[in-house]
Chains A and B, each alone.
Chain A
Amino acid sequence: MGYVLAIPLLPAAAFAVLAPLSRRLRNGAIAVSVGAVALSFLLSIVAFVATLPGGHEAEAAYHAFVPFAHVGDAVLGAGLLLDPISASMLLVVTLVSLCVQVYSIGYMHRDERIGWYYAVLSLFTAAMLTLVLSDNFLQLYAAWEVMGLCSYLLIGFWHEQEAPRKASLKAFLTTRVGDIGFAIGLLVMFNTAGTFDFATVLHGMEWAPQTATAIALLFLFGAMGKSAQFPLHVWLPDAMAGPTPASALIHAATMVAAGVYLVARALPIFEASGVALTVTLIVGSVTALAAGLLASVQHDIKKVLAYSTISQLGYMFVALGAGGLVAGMFHLVTHAFFKSLLFLGAGVIIHAAHTQDMREMGGLGKHLKVTTVTFTIGSLALAGVFPFSGFWSKDEILTVLLHEGHYVALAISLLAAFVTAYYVARLWFRVFIGPQQTSDLHEAHNEMLIPMGVLAAVTVVVGFASPAFAHFLGHEGEWPALGMALGSSAVAASGLLLGWFMYGRRTKVINTRAIKQRVDYVYGALVNKLYLDLTYEYFIVRPYQRHAAWLGRFDSNVIDGVVNGAGRSWRALAAVGWRFDASVVDGAVNGLGQLVKSAGGRVRRLQVGRVQTYQGLVVGVLVALMLWIVVKGV
């Protein structure tokens, strides 16, 4: 089964080929990238079939391991683990990636840097496939970070403009805040277990509750960053500045679901902790509701979908927090399909309407027939309407909550479902119904419509796989209870009705402005994204910038000042020393010389230069000598 290795390696090879040539290739880049992911998709089907009939999550259909580092007693390595969870993720990732890449042929064909675009998409696909095939948390973390880089590159793809540049930086740094938590979680895990392998840390050992809580909460923090959970969700709406197909792949279907995947994988640790599950549940339900409300006030079609993604990811966390691995994973799968479908549809709509603002759209339904159909399917799935996939997975989550007795979470989830249905209706009626505001509408080309058709087809049928999926993951699978199905359908229907009531009727009797004014503060808070962006801006980003600048000055003035001061005072001291040296020490030497010199000056007067004077002296001395001899007598 070595072909499993080829699944992530093919897109990686495509990246390796495309990255250096990205400036020169256009059609070639498309061929290489799409070809690689298509092959990966085929191999994923083979791998999926090989894992059938599934059954036990701890038993792998295929496991390979290559060590890449020996440190102390530990052996770190890269592994491939093909089990039911990863097999189903493989299918999702490769299929969505294939659809998005084919769609991009049409969507991006005018862009100069299409080669680079495809290179990054390939790298992303490779990283995501590596992530789902990981057999250890270190490799998972590595792939996780590489995906973050790809996300950064794609959000900032049109970097000549200000907004994408800012959004890409914000996305990378916000998710990295979460990654710090993940990384510290890895440290704690390694400190206790001495390894990152799933086999050991998930199934092979007993975790002390405190350690498990620490690891689980830190992992959850990482997942919150990546999966844009409240309050680290702020980057995802801004990330919509990137190309729409990239948003569909990365910021709807796959990368943002990586956090969910992480929690799903680490669920045994969460269960060993207990507390962490509750926290997951709280985070998930708060996010599901808050993001749903935020989606209800957006006017940008992509931002509605972005908040919707956050909200749906919240659902998955709720499911996992209640211990519902199957429900969470199933919602991940269905959501990946219908949300990428919605994003691709939104791309067509934006191309057609030349705007992202829903207030400037309307009446598109008559012109974009295929898009309307597929988008409607996606919308109904998102709203949770029978028989589309969202209905099934949402019902499963609600059932889990009911079974586990999390009634508060259940109530919040139902409320979130209501809100979801409402904003879906709001979106749909505003875009497709009503007066047409732009002329010259045209449907997209086939290379964009076919992927949407494929995803729509999957969205229609995949829901019916619900019990089979549970069996595949090794759990009891049942059809949803009729009562729950009816209840959730009623909630969805009432949400849709409200949306229709407010936006769908031909004669507008509801004055939305009046409602906004009535609940001014609520609406204001929602429009301002619950003031979180402002909070971060004013309490984290700007203070950091200020303090960094202050530290920069501190460094050059104070710390370096001390050094320079030491240097200067030493120089001053040296100057003093020099003066002492010059005046006193050297003065003594010079003084002696002066003395000799002046003495010499006096003596030299004797030296008159006249021979006869010398002779006179000699004679005088001689005479004196003789007198002395005579007087003293020898």
Chain B
Amino acid sequence: MSVGPLHFMALAAVLFSLGLYGVLSRKSTIMTLMCLELMANAVNINLVAFSHYRTPALMTGQMFAVFSMVVSAAEIGLGLALVLAIYRLRKTVELDAMQELKG
């Protein structure tokens, strides 16, 4: 069997769903961040796949994916720094402990 766009999309969908599940259910902030990274990478897979099958000559999707990965890396850096700050303040990184916005 040859690998077609559907396989890529299925993979991306699975990855995205795993990430979403993790974001909504994990208690630790760090785990949530990692799951967010999963979801972003699912998007990246789709970008590369669509670019490869639709407009192979232009390589636009690949460029976007690379760009997105750089941003994600920065994002994670920032996110982890925030988590670190929160940890210093509260001695915990549990999401349930952060309820200041409760009305």
| Chain A residue with the shortest CB-CB distance to B26 | A612
| Chain A residues with CB under 8 A of B103 | 604-609
CA distance A619 to B20 in the complex (A): 9
Chain B: minimal CB distance from A212 (Å)? 107
Interface string of B28-42 (1 = CB under 8 A from A): 000010000000000
| Chain B residue with the shortest CB-CB distance to A607 | B103
Chain B: minimal CB distance from A605 (Å)? 7
Confirm or deny: B58 has a beta carbon within 8 angstroms of a beta carbon on chain A: no
| Chain B residues with CB under 8 A of A608 | 99, 102-103
CA distance A609 to B103 in the complex (A): 7
Cβ-neighbour of A611 out of B20, B25, B95 (below 8 A): B95
CA distance A237 to B31 in the complex (A): 128
Chain A: minimal CB distance from B39 (Å)? 11
| Chain B residue with the shortest CB-CB distance to A609 | B102
| Chain A residue with the shortest CB-CB distance to B102 | A609
Cβ-neighbour of B99 out of A605, A609, A619 (below 8 A): A609
| Chain B residues with CB under 8 A of A615 | 23-24
Question: Judging by beta carbons under 8 Å apart, are B24 and A607 in contact?
Answer: no
Question: Judging by beta carbons under 8 Å apart, are A609 and B23 in contact?
Answer: no
Confirm or deny: A633 has a beta carbon within 8 angstroms of a beta carbon on chain B: no
Confirm or deny: A616 has a beta carbon within 8 angstroms of a beta carbon on chain B: yes
| Chain B residues with CB under 8 A of A607 | 101-103
Chain A: minimal CB distance from B19 (Å)? 12
| Chain A residue with the shortest CB-CB distance to B103 | A607
Question: Judging by beta carbons under 8 Å apart, are A612 and B95 in contact?
Answer: yes
Question: Judging by beta carbons under 8 Å apart, are A611 and B98 in contact?
Answer: yes
Confirm or deny: A632 has a beta carbon within 8 angstroms of a beta carbon on chain B: no
Question: Judging by beta carbons under 8 Å apart, are A610 and B23 in contact?
Answer: no
| Chain B residue with the shortest CB-CB distance to A603 | B103
| Chain B residue with the shortest CB-CB distance to A605 | B103
| Chain B residues with CB under 8 A of A609 | 98-103
Cβ-neighbour of B24 out of A605, A606, A616 (below 8 A): A616
| Chain A residues with CB under 8 A of B98 | 609-611
Q: Most chain-B CB neighbours within 10 Å: which of A608, A609, A615, A619?
A: A609
| Chain B residue with the shortest CB-CB distance to A606 | B103
Chain A: minimal CB distance from B14 (Å)? 17
Question: Judging by beta carbons under 8 Å apart, are A612 and B99 in contact?
Answer: no
| Chain A residues with CB under 8 A of B25 | 612
Known interface pairs A609-B100, A609-B101; A619-B95 also in contact (CB < 8 Å): no
CA distance A615 to B102 in the complex (A): 15
4 nearest A-B residue pairs (beta carbon):
A609-B102, A607-B103, A604-B103, A609-B99
26 contacts between A and B (CB under 8 A): A604-B103, A605-B103, A606-B103, A607-B101, A607-B102, A607-B103, A608-B102, A608-B103, A609-B99, A609-B100, A609-B102, A610-B95, A610-B96, A610-B98, A610-B102, A611-B98, A612-B23, A612-B24, A612-B25, A612-B32, A612-B95, A615-B23, A615-B24, A616-B24, A619-B20, A619-B24
Task: List 18 extra interface pairs beyond A605-B103, A609-B99, CB under 8 A.
Answer: A606-B103, A607-B102, A608-B102, A608-B103, A609-B98, A609-B103, A610-B95, A610-B98, A610-B99, A610-B102, A611-B98, A612-B24, A612-B32, A612-B95, A615-B24, A616-B24, A619-B20, A619-B24
